[in-house]
Amino acid sequence: MNKIGLIILREFLSRVRKRSFLIMTLLGPILIAGGITLVIYLSLSSEKEHLVVVIDKAHLFTDKLKGTDKVHFVYQYADMNDSTFRAGPFTEMVEANEAILENNTLQVFYKELPGISVQRTVQSEMERVLEREKLRVNHVDPETYAHIKTALNVQLFDIDNTGKESLEQEKAGIGFFFGYLIFIFIFMYGVQVMRGVMEEKQNRIVEVLISSVKPFQLMMGKIVGIALVGLTQFLLWIVLSTTLISAGSALLLKDKFDPKEVSGPMMTQQLQQQLAENSASAPASDDIKLVRALGDINITATLAMFVFYFLAGYLLYSSLFAAVGSAVDSETDTQQFMFPVTIPMILAIFIAQMAVTNPSSPMVFWGSIIPFTSPVVMMVRVAMGNAFTSPFDLVLSMSLLIGAFVLTTWLAGRIYRTGILMYGKKVSWKELGKWVFYKG
Amino acid sequence: MLRLEGITKTYGAFTALDCVSLEVPDGAVFGLLGPNGAGKTSLIRIITRIAMRDSGTVLFDGRPMTDADVARIGYLPEERGLYKKMKVGEQAVYLAQLKGMSKQEARLRSIAWFERWDMSGWWGKKVEELSKGMAQKVQFITTVLHGPKLLILDEPFSGFDPINADLVRTEILRLRDEGTTVMLSTHNMGSVEQLCDHIALIDRSHKVLDGRVRDIQRAYGTNIYRVTFSGQLIGFTHALWTGAELLDHTVEDERIEARVRLMQGTSVNDLLTAVMPHVRIHGVREEVPTMHEVFIRAVGGDTPGREAEGPTE
């Protein structure tokens, strides 16, 4: 086996065998799956029961409000003072006198702030009853009113992609998610590269190592080894979370939900079919739109681009992290060099966020071309599909990114080579510049 | 074995080595001496190809050295270091593999070494669980495991107790007898005298001295002899006349030991002939300068005002 292979193997194994890797690998999906299952569970199983007392002196609402299985309405006709309400069994108190017909204002008193769904139930029921009352007073036929009342359902269509409702927003959201993953990955493992370099420098083994291998081999071996650790961890997370989510939802939501529908790929496929049938006609609610958007983007191409941008972006940054690690003696000294490495990353997330709402702004264009931000920003454009319709942008962005990582790796290699043997020296930017141009 | 010709190395405005040439003979233990900051580490790093020279040539086995030759060098840096979290055995095998050995062979050889040094129980331990001395032994093994032709040891005895230092010393001599050339950089002049056949002394980026240890000691000889005798000191002194000068003397029981410097043109034979009629001679021996004295004279003595950093151990 050649030397760089040996280094990659050691870097990989020494990390994968660590207890912290095992814990993170197991804990990650448990947290993710637990979180998702909990959200599903909470959203499906509603809150505790609410007993809403309506002080209905004008007899406007009595017996007209329809409760749900969690929200019940009770009516009283005399004022209730605060202490009685506090002591009583009611969870909310609504005061409705005749003035409500004029000022359209409702006061709800609560013991514990009711959830949005309870608020909505109370509001919509009261509105419904009040509308009825107003129709009666104004002698309007309810059917006429139903005809007058208008709720517009706005559908967006892309002129170049006729017949299909536009899902740009949702697709951009998915792209942002991918971009965000790349951001997290680069940071998490970039810092690991930096720590690894510092460890070798601090315990002085580096001099032994580079009497056997070239500094560049050592640096690249570490970078690639850690990239493999990252990929392994991600893969395990995906496998474990999918298993756990389906298992978890099967256990928790047996009676409420068919677990097959929740587990990732199955869900999209089934829903996609269902949705394909009625996509043009029926207006979709927000979450269904998201699923449809997922079905609408070019999954294979997007995943391929994800892997590319994620690896290239990681290579670009991790070599810089390696250079930083080589230049300092201790973790506390890293800050002055970390700052300029971190800034473009933060900027990338910022621009990517902008791309979700305003994908055609010049800021987003440049962000997706310039190598330091492109891994995150371009993912939004890829998911939206507009990267494929303007392939020149994509090719330019990819080649610039490759060029940039070759350049930063070369640059970092030069700094690394000198830095790892330099001790007890507070290194300045000027110094780093000098190292790049040392001979040999 | 190894020949350096006109090696020059600068870091920015600082010259670490200025046209240094030296030759390390095959199968010798070669001492590389010099005060701190003289350029020894720079020189070693150039030989191990960690640093690049600005000019000059390094000949390894008579031909210009290439990257492939580093596999035939074993290097123990002054600042020791191992992966703290890695198991001792795995680490030894890994480092040998980086030197180009197969995993199988590296394993067998390290097991043999561990057995020989009675360290078999350490194989599965992490380095952080070992004491400093134990870690040093592991490090020494990792340096020699791949059977290098040239062994470069920077302060090999630091951190060892006398017993382990002896173990290492024996091992160095054994390796030399098996044909390994050893380059030793140390401030411990005692071990230079014990181990080294040749030395080179570097001071302020320049080589100031090199050659066989015995030749150098002779060259730095002071022409002082110690004569042990019984009899009258006064008679002895008179007999010296102008041929020699009495520096000092000690008296123990009936015997007197006198330190005598011979004047130009006087031989030991002349001295003995002169004093023999007056005293009974028990012995005479030349006072050879220690490497310690040679070092101080070569580095510090002839440049007053500069603080020479003497031997530290």
Flag whether residue B65 sits within 8 Å of chain A, measured between CB atoms: no
One-letter amino acid of A9: L
- Region A288-293 average pLDDT: 67
Nearest to A207 by CA among B80, B128, B140: B80
Give the per-residue pLDDT at B50.
Answer: 87
What number is the average pLDDT over the span B100-125? 92
CB B114 within 8 A of CB B120: yes
Q: Is B40 on the interface with A (CB under 8 A)?
A: no
Structure tokens that stand for B120 in this block: 């078999």
- Per-residue CA distances from A355 to A376, A377, A396 (Å): 10, 7, 18
Host H or E run for residue A108:
strand A107-110
Backbone angles phi, psi at A33, to 5 degrees: -65, -40
A400 near A371, Cβ under 8 Å?
Answer: yes
pLDDT band at A162 (very low <50, low <70, confident <90, very high): low
Detail the DSSP E strand segments found in chain B: 2-11, 14-24, 29-33, 55-60, 63-64, 73-76, 150-154, 181-185, 198-203, 206-212, 224-230, 244-252, 255-262, 280-286
Counting residues of chain B whose pLDDT is more than 70, the rounded percentage is: 96
Reported as a pLDDT band with limits 50, 70 and 90, residue B44 is: very high
Q: Does B274 touch chain A (CB under 8 A)?
A: no
Residue B187 near residue B201, CB atoms below 8 Å? no
Residue found by looking up tokens 């993170």 in the block: A24
Interchain proximity B50–A210, CB inside 8 Å: yes
Residue A246, pLDDT score: 78
Q: Does domain B222-286 correspond to CATH entry 3.40.630.10?
A: no
A281 vs B257, more confident: B257
Contact yes or no for B81 and A10 at CB 8 A: no
Q: Token digits for A197?
A: 């370099």
The crossing angle, in degrees rounded to 10, of helices A168-202 and A286-296 is: 70
Q: What is the SS3 assignment for B220? A: coil
Residues of A in contact with B42 (CB under 8 A): none
B48–A1 CB contact, under 8 Å? no
CB contact under 8 Å between B99 and A203, yes or no, is no
For A66-77, write each residue's pLDDT tens digit. Answer: 888 788 898 988
3-state secondary structure of B76: strand
CB B191 within 8 Å of CB B169: yes
Looking at residue A291, its pLDDT comes to: 67
**CB–CB of B50 and A209 under 8 A?**
no
Alpha carbon of B27: minimum distance to chain A alpha carbons (Å): 22
Mean pLDDT of A76-98: 86
Q: What is the pLDDT of residue B174?
A: 94
Length of chain A: 440
Strand pairing of B224-230 and B255-262?
A: antiparallel
User: What is the CB neighbour count within 10 angstroms for residue A320?
Assistant: 24
- Which residue is closest to B69 within chain A, CA to CA? A212
> CA-to-CA distance for B214 and A292, rounded, in angstroms?
90
Contact B142 A208 (CB under 8 A): yes
| Rounded Cα distance, B115 and B118, in Å | 5
The pLDDT, as a whole number, for residue B183 is 95
Q: Are B123 and B87 contacting, i.e. CB atoms less than 8 angstroms apart?
A: yes
What confidence score (pLDDT) does residue B4 get? Answer: 93
> Residue B290 burial by CB count (10 A; 0-12/13-18/19+): exposed, middle or buried?
middle
* Residue A36 · residue A245 · CB < 8 Å: yes
Give me chain A's average pLDDT, please.
82
Tell me: the pLDDT tens digits for A183-234?
988 988 999 999 999 999 988 899 899 889 989 999 999 999 999 998 888 8
User: Of B70, B86, B139, which is closest to A14 when you measure between CB atoms?
Assistant: B86
Pick from A212, A439, A440: CB nearest B98: A212
Instruction: Look at B77 and A212 and tell me if their CB atoms are within 8 Å.
Output: no
* pLDDT in the model for residue A12: 94
Query: Which structure tokens are listed for A363?
Result: 């800021």
Name the residue ranges covered by the structural domains of chain A.
3-40+169-436, 50-148
Strand partners, B283: B228
- Whether residue B209 contacts residue B216, with contact meaning beta carbons closer than 8 Å, is answered with yes
Give the Cα separation of A12 and B67 in Å (integer): 26
| CA A197/CA A323 separation, integer angstroms | 8
Q: In the prediction, which pLDDT does B308 show?
A: 39
A7-11, A235-239, B123-127, B196-200: which range is least confident on average? A235-239
CA-CA distance, B85 to A191, in Å (whole number)?
19
- How confident is the model over B142-190, as pLDDT tens digits? 999 999 999 999 999 988 899 999 999 999 999 999 999 999 998 888 8
Mutating which of B50, B67, B83, B154 best tests the A interface, going by the most A Cβ atoms within 10 A?
A: B50
Instruction: Please state, for a pLDDT cut of 90, what percent of chain A lies above it.
Output: 20
Which of A171 and A7 is assigned the larger pLDDT?
A7
Picking from B49, B54, B97, the nearest residue to A6 by CB comes out as B97
B311: nearest Cα among B185, B156, B154, B187: B187
CB B262 within 8 A of CB B268: yes
User: What is the greatest pairwise CA distance in chain B?
Assistant: 75
Nearest residue to A179 (alpha-carbon basis) of A402, A387, A391: A387
Q: How confident is the model at residue A344 (pLDDT cuts 50, 70, 90)?
A: very high
Write down the domain spans for chain B. 2-218, 222-286
Q: Is the pLDDT reported for residue B233 higher than 90?
A: no
- Lowest-confidence range among A51-55, B247-251, B286-290, B307-311? B307-311
For range B7-36, the mean pLDDT: 90
**CA-to-CA separations, A278 to A107, A158, A273, in angstroms, rounded:** 42, 18, 9
CB contact set of A403 (below 8 Å; sequence gap of 6+): A371
Q: What is the mean pLDDT of residues A326-352?
A: 88
Q: What is the pLDDT of residue A158?
A: 67
What strands, in cross-sheet order, belong to the sheet with B244-252?
B244-252, B255-262, B224-230, B280-286
Q: How many beta carbons lie within 10 A of that of residue A86, not counting itself?
A: 11
pLDDT above 90 (res A404):
yes
Alpha-carbon radius of gyration of chain A: 30
Q: For chain A, say whether B164 makes contact (Cβ under 8 Å).
A: no
Taking residues B250-264, report their average pLDDT: 88
- Rounded (10°) angle between helices B132-144 and B162-177: 0
Q: What is the 3-state secondary structure (H, E, C) of A231-260?
A: HHHHHHHHHHHHHHHHHHHHHHCCCCCCHH
Kindly determine whether residue A211 and residue B75, on different chains, have CB atoms separated by under 8 Å.
yes
Which option is the CATH number for A50-148: 1.20.140.10, 3.40.190.10, 3.40.50.1100, 3.40.605.10? 3.40.190.10
Please measure the distance between the N-terminal and C-terminal CA atoms of chain A and give it in whole angstroms: 27
In degrees and rounded to multiples of 5, residue A231 shows phi and psi of -60, -40
Closest CA to B176 of B136, B206, B139, B148: B148
* pLDDT tens string B45-75: 999 988 888 899 999 988 999 888 888 999 9
pLDDT of residue A164: 59
How far does CA B183 lie from the centroid of its chain? 8
Please give the pLDDT value at position A181. 87
Q: In a 3-state reduction of DSSP, which class is residue A80?
A: coil
pLDDT for residue A260 is more than 70: no
> Which residues from B are below 8 Å from A14, CB to CB?
83, 85-86
Confidence class of residue A161 from pLDDT cuts 50, 70 and 90?
low
The helix (run of H) or strand (run of E) holding residue A50 is: strand A50-55
- Does residue A259 have a pLDDT over 60? no
What the block records as the tokens of B83 is 């992966």
CATH number of B2-218: 3.40.50.300
Residues of B in contact with A210 (CB under 8 A): 50
Rounded to whole angstroms, the Cα distance separating A59 from B195 reads 112
Residues A208, B85: C-beta atoms closer than 8 Å:
no
B12 touches A at CB < 8 Å: yes
Residue in A206, A421, A439 nearest the CB of B54:
A439
pLDDT digits (tens, 9 = 90+) for A11-31: 999 999 888 888 988 888 888
User: Any idea which residue has 């001979």 for tokens?
Assistant: A439
How large is the C-alpha radius of gyration of chain B? 24
Instruction: For residues B19-42, give the mean pLDDT.
Output: 91
Q: What are phi and psi of B72, to 5 degrees?
A: -100, 10
Q: Which of A317, A324, A347, A306 is nearest to A407 (CA)?
A: A317
In this prediction the ipTM stands at 0.81
State residue B201's pLDDT score: 92
Contacts of B94 in chain A (CB under 8 A): 6, 10
Q: What is the pLDDT of residue A36?
A: 74
- Estimate the crossing angle of helix A391-419 against helix A215-252, to 10 degrees: 120
Which residue on chain A is closest to B82 by alpha carbon?
A205
Q: What is the pLDDT of residues B210-229, one digit of tens each?
A: 899 988 888 888 888 999 99
Q: What value does the mean pLDDT of chain B take?
A: 88
Q: What one-character DSSP code corresponds to residue A57? A: T
Q: Tell me what pLDDT residue A277 has.
A: 45
pLDDT grade, residue A84 (50/70/90)?
A: confident
Considering only CA atoms, which of B69, B17, B21, B79 is closest in space to residue B43?
B17
A:B CB pairs within 8 Å: 64
Measured in degrees and rounded to the nearest 5, phi and psi for residue A54 equal -105, 115
Chain A: residue nearest B42 by CA? A421
**Nearest chain B Cα to A440, which residue?**
B52
Nearest to A370, CA basis, from A406, A322, A403: A403
What is the C-alpha to C-alpha distance for residues B171 and B175, in angstroms, rounded to an integer?
6
